[in-house]
Amino acid sequence: MGETKYIFVTGGVASSLGKGIISSSIGKLLQARGYNVTIQKFDPYINIDPGTLNPYEHGECYVTVDGHEADLDLGHYERFLGIQTTKANNITTGRIYKSVIDKERRGDYLGKTIQVIPHITDEIKRNVKQLGNKYKFDFVITEIGGTVGDIESLPYLESIRQLKWELGRDAIVVHLTYVPYLAAAGELKTKPTQHSVKELQSAGIQPDILVLRAEHQLSVNLRKKVAQFCNVDEDAVVQSIDAPTIYEVPILMQEQKLDATILKKMGLPVGDTPGLGPWRSFLERRHKAEQKPALHIALVGKYDLQDAYKSIREALSQAGTYNDRKVEVDFVNSEKLTEDNVAEALKDKAGVLIGPGFGERGIPGKLIAAKYAREHDIPTFGICLGMQCIAIEFARNVLGLADANSREMDAKTPHNVIDIMEEQKSITNMGGTMRLGAYECVLRPGSKACEAYGKEHIQERHRHRYEFNNQYREAFEAAGMQCVGINPESDLVEVVEIPALKWYIGTQFHPEYSSTVLHPHPLFLSFVKAAIENEAK
Ligand code: GLN
C-alpha cells in the first residue's frame, strides 16, 4: 500500500467507554478489506507494565507470545483480528521514561537537558512509528489509554499533534465520547462531547471522526449539531449504541460506514464493502445459541471482578457459541467456599473452571472445589494456579499426603508437589521475571488433551513462577492423574489429566489468551462440549 497509515483513538468525557472495542472494530473492518493491520495501546501510568498490578486495579494481565505482560485490551485486539501482538503493542509511560532515562545515562543525548518535549514525545513517536517502519503494517491503530484532560495524557496528545502535522492525511484521530441521557429532562446531552472536543482542540488536535457512545439512538439532528460544534463532517459523527455483545460492534460501525469514512479521509480508494462472512456466521450462531437455556459453568476464583478473568470469560463464551450454547459464567468466590456449602455452590453447574491467581488467599476454597468436582465427576478445567490446585488436592486426598502444598503457599511443606523453579529462587525483582510467553509442549497421544487439540505439538503462553515437581510424577501417574503434556526442553509438566473421569484437565499454561472469535481454543471447545454432555445426563 505504500506508506503506513496511523489512526489514533482517544477518549473523552468518561473512562470505560470501550475504546479498545472501537479500536478493534476499526481494525477488523480494515483487515476485512485486505489491509495488514495492528493495534497498539499506550497506557499513561508509571508502571513499566501491568504485570505487577493487582487485578482489582486493572483487570486481568494479558500475556503476548513474546512474553510481555500487557493490558487486557491487547486480548480484544487479538480476539477480533486473529493476530498476535508483541511487546511493541503495549507501551506505558513508565517504559517511555525508563527508555529515555537509560539513554540519558548512556550519554546518548550528548549533554542535552532532557525534557518532556522533545525527548519524551520523541520516544512516544518512535514507539508509534516503529510498528509501521519495522513491521511494515498498512495501518497502525494506536489507542491512548485514559481520558483527554488527564495530566498524564498530555505528552501523548502532544505527540499525536506533532505526528498529525508531520504525516498529513496519513494520520487521523478518532475521538470517542459519551452522550448521556438525562431521564428527568428526557433528553440526550451533547455538551460533555463538545467540551471534550474543545479539550482536544486546546492541545492542538482537531479530531477527524467522532464516535459517540450512547444508551439511546441518536437522531440525525443531534449528530448534525455535534458535527457543527466540533468542526467535524456530518458523516464522520458515528454512534456507538450499547450492543448485546461486543462482537456486534464491527457490524454496527460498518453500517455507519466508519471504515469508508476513514479511507476517504486518508485518501485511499473506498471500493466495495466487505461482507464479513465468517464474522456474521459467528454472530448468527451466537444468536441461535442464545435461544436455548444457558449452560452454567462455575468460575472458581478470588477476584470478584468481571475484568479479572476477561480472557477466560471470552474463551468460554466463544466455545459456547461453537457448541451452540450460551455459556453463563457463574463466579464462585473461593474465599467463601467451604466443605459445607460446596455442594450447594456447584450443584447446578455443568462444568467447573478453577482460575489462575497468586498467593494464599482463597486456596482452601479452590482445593475444596477441585475435590468436589473430582469426586462427583463434573468436567473440570484448572488453569495455571487452578492446575496447581488440582494437583495439590490429588496429592492430599488420593496420594494421602495430607500436607502436600505449593511452596508459594507454604515454603516449608514436606510435600512440595508444586515447587519454585531453580532459576526463580534468586529473583528479587518482581517485574517481568516469571516464566512468561509461549513455550512448546508435547502431548501424549491418546490423552484427552491431545484429542482436543488434534495434534501432539503445541505452543501455549505462560505466566507463573511455580511448577509441578517431577519427583512426584510417578506417584501421580500410578494413582490415576497423568502428566500428558511435557515441555520437551525442560521436561516440565504442562498438562495433567485424570483419564478415568469425563473431563478433568489442568494446564500450567494459559490457553485462554489464544482463543479468538474465528479460532476458538480447542481445549475450551472440548471442555464446554464435555460440560454439555454432563448436563444432559
Ligand atoms: N501463582 C502461581 C505461580 O506463580 C500461578 C500463577 C498463575 O495462575 N498465573 O506459579
Q: Is 465 in the pocket of ligand 1 (CB under 6 A)?
A: yes
DSSP 319: H
- Per DSSP bridges, beta strands 62-63 and 171-178 are unpaired
| pLDDT at 134 exceeding the cut of 90 | no
What average pLDDT does this structure show over 255-273? 96
Which position among 143, 158, 460, 512 bears the catalytic label?
A: 512
Instruction: Collect all residues with Cβ–Cβ distance below 8 Å to 302 and sequence separation of at least 6.
Output: 333, 334, 335, 357, 361, 362, 365
Q: Is 141 in the pocket of ligand 1 (CB under 6 A)?
A: no
What pLDDT score was predicted for residue 504? 98
Q: Is 356 in the pocket of ligand 1 (CB under 6 A)?
A: yes
Which position among 68, 76, 119, 510 bears the catalytic label?
A: 510
Q: Is 62 in the pocket of ligand 1 (CB under 6 A)?
A: no
What average pLDDT does this structure show over 144-171? 95
Ligand 1: which of 53, 300, 384 to mutate, most ligand atoms within 8 Å of CB?
A: 384
Q: How far is the CA of 407 from the centre of ligand 1 (A)?
A: 11
Computed over every residue of the chain, the mean pLDDT equals: 95
Q: How far is the CA of 387 from the centre of ligand 1 (A)?
A: 9
What pLDDT score was predicted for residue 425? 86
What average pLDDT does this structure show over 78-97? 97
Could you tell me the CA-to-CA distances from 296 to 348, 351, 355, 357 in Å, in that order?
7, 7, 16, 22
The candidate with the shortest Cα–Cα distance to 210, out of 77, 202, 225, is: 225
Q: Is 384 noted as a catalytic residue in this protein? A: yes
Atom of ligand 1 nearest to the CA of 384: 8
The answer to whether residues 175 and 139 touch, using CB atoms and an 8 Å cutoff, is no
Query: Quick one: pLDDT band at residue 436, thresholds 50, 70, 90?
Result: very high
Instruction: Collect all residues with Cβ–Cβ distance below 8 Å to 405 and sequence separation of at least 6.
Output: 392, 413, 415, 416, 417, 418
Atom of ligand 1 nearest to the CA of 418: 10
The answer to whether residues 213 and 177 touch, using CB atoms and an 8 Å cutoff, is yes
Q: Is 78 in the pocket of ligand 1 (CB under 6 A)?
A: no
Cell digits of residue 81: 483480528
What pLDDT score was predicted for residue 1? 65
Gyration radius of the chain's alpha carbons: 25
Q: Residues 314-359: pLDDT tens digits?
A: 999 999 999 999 999 999 999 999 999 999 999 999 999 999 999 9
Atom of ligand 1 nearest to the CA of 357: 8
Which position among 384, 441, 450, 483 bears the catalytic label?
A: 384
What average pLDDT does this structure show over 26-43? 97
What pLDDT score was predicted for residue 119? 97
The answer to whether residues 193 and 178 touch, using CB atoms and an 8 Å cutoff, is yes
Atom of ligand 1 nearest to the CA of 510: 9
- Residue position matching grid coordinates 456447584: 346
What pLDDT score was predicted for residue 261? 97
Angle between helices 363-375 and 385-397 (to 10 degrees): 70
Q: Is 408 in the pocket of ligand 1 (CB under 6 A)?
A: yes
Q: How far apart are the C-alpha atoms of 398 and 419, rounded to whole Å? A: 19
Cell digits of residue 396: 492430599
For residue 85, how many other CB atoms are within 10 A of its CB?
A: 23
Ligand 1: which of 354, 366, 385 to mutate, most ligand atoms within 8 Å of CB?
A: 385
Q: Is 462 in the pocket of ligand 1 (CB under 6 A)?
A: no
For residue 23, how many other CB atoms are within 10 A of its CB?
A: 26
Q: How far apart are the C-alpha atoms of 213 and 25, rounded to whole Å? A: 14
- Residue position matching grid coordinates 506505558: 92
What pLDDT score was predicted for residue 206? 97
Q: Residues 467-521: pLDDT tens digits?
A: 999 999 999 999 999 999 999 999 999 999 999 999 999 999 999 999 999 999 9
The answer to whether residues 378 and 346 touch, using CB atoms and an 8 Å cutoff, is yes
Q: Is 521 noted as a catalytic residue in this protein? A: no
Cβ burial of 183 (10 Å; 0-12, 13-18, 19+) is exposed
Q: Is 492 in the pocket of ligand 1 (CB under 6 A)?
A: no
Q: How far is the CA of 26 from the centre of ligand 1 (A)?
A: 34
Ligand 1: which of 61, 300, 310, 358 to mutate, most ligand atoms within 8 Å of CB?
A: 358
Q: Is 385 in the pocket of ligand 1 (CB under 6 A)?
A: yes
| pLDDT at 56 exceeding the cut of 80 | yes
In angstroms, the first-to-last Cα distance of the chain is 56
Going by alpha carbons, the residue nearest to atom 3 of ligand 1 is 464
Q: Residues 359-379: pLDDT tens digits?
A: 999 999 999 999 999 999 999
Q: How far apart are the C-alpha atoms of 475 and 479, rounded to whole Å? A: 6
What average pLDDT does this structure show over 12-41? 95
Q: Is 435 in the pocket of ligand 1 (CB under 6 A)?
A: no
Q: Is 366 in the pocket of ligand 1 (CB under 6 A)?
A: no
Atom of ligand 1 nearest to the CA of 463: 9
Reported pTM: 0.95
Q: Is 510 noted as a catalytic residue in this protein? A: yes
Phi-psi label, residue 324: left if phi above 0, alpha if psi -120 to 50, beta otherwise = left
Atom of ligand 1 nearest to the CA of 466: 10
Going by alpha carbons, the residue nearest to atom 1 of ligand 1 is 358
Q: How far is the CA of 466 from the centre of ligand 1 (A)?
A: 6
